[in-house]
Structures are given as structure tokens and as C-alpha cells.
Chain A
Amino acid sequence: MRANDLNFPFPVLGMPGVMQGDPPKVAYTSYIPDKNLIQVPYRWVFDIDIKNQCILNLIQAGKAQYMCEVTCSATLMRKCIFSSTPKIEVVLGRREVNKRVEFALYVVAKKHIANYDNDAANEDYRELAPFDIDVGSPLAVLSSYRWDADLCYEDLTSLRSILQVLKNTSDPTQEYVTLNLEHEYIQIFLPAQQYDAFMEKSHTDAFGEVIKSSLILYALQAALNQFSSDLTHRWERAVDTYIRQDSKFEGLSLENKGDIPLIAAKMLGNPFKRLGETLPKLTVLSAESAEVSGDEEEEAE
């Protein structure tokens, strides 16, 4: 049944427009051990604050409980951790999870609840109350949180954590730069000859800026235009996490295609500005090169 486009046939705290009063709040603290201490597990503590007295009474009476569902698709993990107090501790072994881990917090019915009638529910529900609530039904949707085990020790501001520049060995006839977005990283394949030139020059500050503002910016924009919110690939999760965590992306969204050039430029640290600052050096280099080149020609003569 859907009343006013609400998803549950009974009032669930935390769903938009369902309950009056303060929405539930969840604060969490994560404890990520040093990378090398592999015997020390990952740990999270969630502190839950709900004000809905009817639900608090049900928890107090042992008819409802707090729950955190933890899922990790890459290791087929799905576990529920329950608590009768508004604090849930989640401990995950370092070998238990891989890639994305998702946490979803609820209050759920621990026992069958007859004649449930929450006086903070909106009118749509009040007219239909009371409800019989089955074991496992959510009474409150509190919060959700995601975390990536494979990214937690990586510096996401570093391009190396997101993309790779490689030599195209599979197709020696290819003259153009190609991208592979089906890999863990954004892979930029350069024709063999260009790759060698790239490797030679990319570590030079001045040329590095030219490369960033041309090749890398092009590839990053192309990749971000193909970004899927399904987050299938590691590079998508890395970009997603970086953008969510860094305030410089505030107000920008990959869902808005118009934001992509600015997001890409911010990810690369404003490459055109840096290119502009580098151009005078390049001019000097060019002049020096011309002189050297001219000298060589004179000597040859």
C-alpha cells in the first residue's frame, strides 16, 4: 500500500513526511587501524539519537531494537548487529571485507507488535491506525553510510589512485589515444611512440603541466562523462569518495554534466592556471632549445 507515495503500510520514522518532530540523528566514529597492523580490526561506533517517545517505549519494552545492517558485496557479507541501547559498535576483521562496505541503521520490530499507533505519525497514517507490525519490520530508518576498504589507505587526491597512463601494446596500428573505463583505474592508452615521449617528459615540471592540461584533463573529463552512480568500478568509487569528502567540490555534482569540466579541473588542481604560470618557463625552454638547435646546425655546417 502506498499512501501519499509513502513506501510502507505503516508509519516509519525517518521517511520523508511520515512523522512530526525531530528527525533521527546518527553520529559515528570510525577507527581505522594502521595499514600494517593487520590483526587489528576496523571498528565503527554509531551513536543514535531519536526523540520519538512511542518508539523509545517499544525499545524499552524489548519489542523493538536498534539494528545496523552491514553489507559487502565483494565478500558476500551481510550481517545485522542489534542493540537495545542507542549505541552500536561494528567490528570487521581486516580479511572480512573488500572494496565497498555499506552500513544501514534502523529500529526494527523485535517481536510482533499489535495495535501500533504512533501519535507523531502524519494524518494519512492516523486514519488507518492501529497497525500490526511483524518481526523485522522497520519502525525507523536512521541513516546509511558507506566506506571503501580498498581506498581507506589511499591518497585520493593523487592522480595515481584514479588513473593510469599505459602504452597501447594490443593495437600497434592505433594512432589515437584510447581509454578503458572498464578497469579498476581510468586507463589511458597512448600509441607506443607517444607513450615513450610522455614517459620522457612527464616528470619535468613544465611539461607535466602541459600534459595535465591536455591529455589528462581530456581523459578525466571523458571518464567523468561516463561516470555511473552504480559505482561499478573502483575508479568511480574513488572519484565518488573524493568528491564527497573534499569541501572544494561543495555544490558540484557529477549528475549535472555541466559541472564536470569544473570538477575535473578541481581534481587536477586547476591545470590551466598552472599551465599559464608555466608557459613563461616553456618559452625560455623553447628559446634555449632554439639556440641549442641553432648552435648544432652551425656546428654541422
Chain B
Amino acid sequence: MSKQFIFSKAAVDEIEAAFNAPGGDAAYLSPTPFAVAFKTLESPIDAPLQLPSRVNPKSDIDTAIALYEAYPNLNPLEASSRGFWTYLTHVDLWSYMRNRFPLSADMDVAARRNKIKDKWFLGEPSQWSLMRHPLAGLWWGVKLSVDESRGVGKYDLTRILFRDLDFLTRTLGTYQLGRLPAAVRGILGYMFNHQEDFKGQFEDKTRYIMKHFNSMGGALHLGCLDENFYADELDRTRDEWLNPNNKTAPEAQPAAAETQSSSQS
């Protein structure tokens, strides 16, 4: 099997510098990936076959699963590599990126530059930056939620996580709680088993739930608790989160161990 190419650190810097130069965003309007000219390295990662045809710009969940299955054995270091993700956005998945995040010459220049910066580049890797990156976030979203013990339904919980972008990129996915497998399985498993309860006000309910656990994390080490704890807690507080706008979610405590992961943490 051939190996995946990635950009060297220096190449990522050079691509960024080229983008930052006056008119540097013009290259992103071309259907041809300009970055192939920059220095690449052969990584130990197995290169998947026909990746561009496996992703779908119209479906994040399908793309997420396709990406995860294309790179099932990425180790955490590889999966947080700027050289790897920048190579995918600029070369292998150039077409996908341009279809998923259309750019045009008519766009306001500042808006176009911001869009390119946000979507094509990965900043210093952190839970926040990785989960908000359009490819890394998809791969990591599956990684955090895939449950092999469910057999053919191993992506059941992933589908819940991807139901709303807010849940993936602003709450569970970017909260430190999201790094705890027991918490992810407990919360998403409960939501999967009680899908009727989440038919409306999905974002409000999940935000309430996340604030609730965030608050609990101020006094408890949530890493000590198994997935049953999370399901039981959701059952216990069901009346509250079912009507999230009628109740005030507890404020996060100053001593909170559970915080939203920021780029600095």
C-alpha cells in the first residue's frame, strides 16, 4: 500500500505565507490545487484509495465516516498534525473543500480570506482548533463517538453527535467532557435510546445538558464515573432539560474542573 503524503512544517508555513501575501487568496479560486508545488514528506500513514470519491460535500456525517474509515489507524500525534490536515485540504481533498465551502471572485475579499483561513488551515492543535477544523473535526468526532461494541450500529452514537453542528463543534465536542469515553458513550447512548425526547429544541436541550454536567464537574471528577452515571443523571434531570427554556441551567462553578477546551489548554 502506498503511503500518505503530508506537508513538512516549513511547507505549511510557506503556504500560509503565500496565502497572507497580497492577492494570495486568488489561488483558492482555481480548480487546480496550487499547493502540490510545496515540499511534501512521505508519512508512515497508509494512503487510502480513491479518497475524493468517498467524501460527500453535502453530508458531514457521511464524510466523517468515510474519512475515519480511510484513516482508521491514525495515532493521536498524526491526527493532530498540521502537515497532514493541510495536505488534505490543499491537495487530496481540494475539490471537496471547494464544493463544501464555495468561494467566488465576487465575494467580499475580507470574507473570502477569513473563510479560507478558517477552513483550509489548522492553527496550533488543540481540542478547540481540531474539532472546529472541517476535516480534522470530522475525523475526531467519529473517533470520540464510535462504539465498536455496537457491531453494525457502531456509528449510532456518531450520528447523534453529528445531528447538530453546535453539539459537535461548540459543546460536547469541544468540552473537556467530550474527551471522556464514558461520558460520550453515556450521554450519546442515552440520547440514542430516548430519541423522542430530542425531537425538538435539540440545541437548547443539549446546551442545557452540557451546562449541567459542566457544573457538576466543578465538584466531581467526572473521569471517575462510568457511563451509567451519565445516563442515570440524564434520567434524574429529565424534566429540567426537556424544558430547557423554563429553567436556568446551573452556572459553571469557579472551581470547575470541566471547562470548554480552549486553544490554550
A residues sitting closer than 8 Å to B (CB atoms) are 7-9, 67, 69, 71-80, 82, 93-99, 106, 108-110, 134-138, 169-171, 183-184, 228, 230-234
Contacts and interface: CB of A to CB of B under 8 A. Distances in A.
Give the secondary structure class of A's interface. Answer: loop
23 contacts: A67-B221, A71-B265, A73-B265, A74-B127, A75-B76, A76-B80, A76-B130, A78-B176, A80-B221, A82-B224, A93-B75, A96-B75, A97-B77, A99-B124, A109-B224, A110-B224, A135-B220, A136-B221, A169-B21, A184-B124, A232-B264, A233-B124, A234-B124
B24 to A, nearest CB: 8
Interface in B134-152: 140, 143-144
Nearest to A102: B265
B243 interface: no
Contacts of A232: 124, 263-264
A299 B220 CA distance: 85
B220 A134 contact: yes
Given A135-B224, A138-B221, A78 B179 contact: yes
| 3 pairs of A and B residues whose beta carbons are closest in the complex | A75-B76, A230-B264, A78-B179
B255 interface: yes
Contacts of B261: 73
Interface of B: 13, 17, 20-22, 24, 75-80, 124-128, 130, 140, 143-144, 176, 178-180, 219-225, 229, 253-255, 261-265
B254 A7 contact: yes
A135 B219 CA distance: 11
Nearest to A109: B224
A292 B23 CA distance: 46
Given A230-B264, A232-B264, A67 B22 contact: no
Given A99-B125, A134-B220, A170 B76 contact: no
Nearest to A69: B223
Given A78-B180, A170-B20, A230-B262, A95 B77 contact: yes
Contacts of A169: 17, 21
Contacts of B77: 75, 94-98
A77 B76 contact: yes
A80 B229 CA distance: 16
Contact of A77 (B17, B124, B179): B179
A98 B76 contact: yes
B76 A76 contact: yes
Contact of A73 (B13, B126, B254): B126
B17 A108 contact: no
A7 B255 contact: yes
B220 A137 contact: yes
Contacts of B254: 7
A108 B224 CA distance: 8
A169 B13 CA distance: 13
A95 B75 contact: yes
Given A76-B127, A170-B22, A8 B219 contact: yes
A80 B80 contact: no
B221 A106 contact: yes
B80 A108 contact: no
Nearest to B264: A230
A75 B75 CA distance: 9
B127 A95 contact: no
A7 B252 CA distance: 12
Contacts of A234: 124
A114 B192 CA distance: 34
A79 B223 contact: yes
A71 B76 contact: no
A95 B76 contact: yes
* Most chain B beta carbons < 10 A, residue from A74, A79, A97, A233: A74
Contacts of A80: 221, 223-224
Contacts of B126: 73-74
Contacts of B78: 95
B20 A73 contact: no
Given A96-B76, A137-B221, 20 more contacts: A8-B255, A67-B221, A67-B224, A71-B176, A73-B261, A75-B79, A76-B80, A76-B130, A78-B176, A82-B224, A95-B77, A96-B77, A97-B77, A98-B125, A99-B125, A109-B224, A137-B219, A184-B124, A228-B264, A232-B124
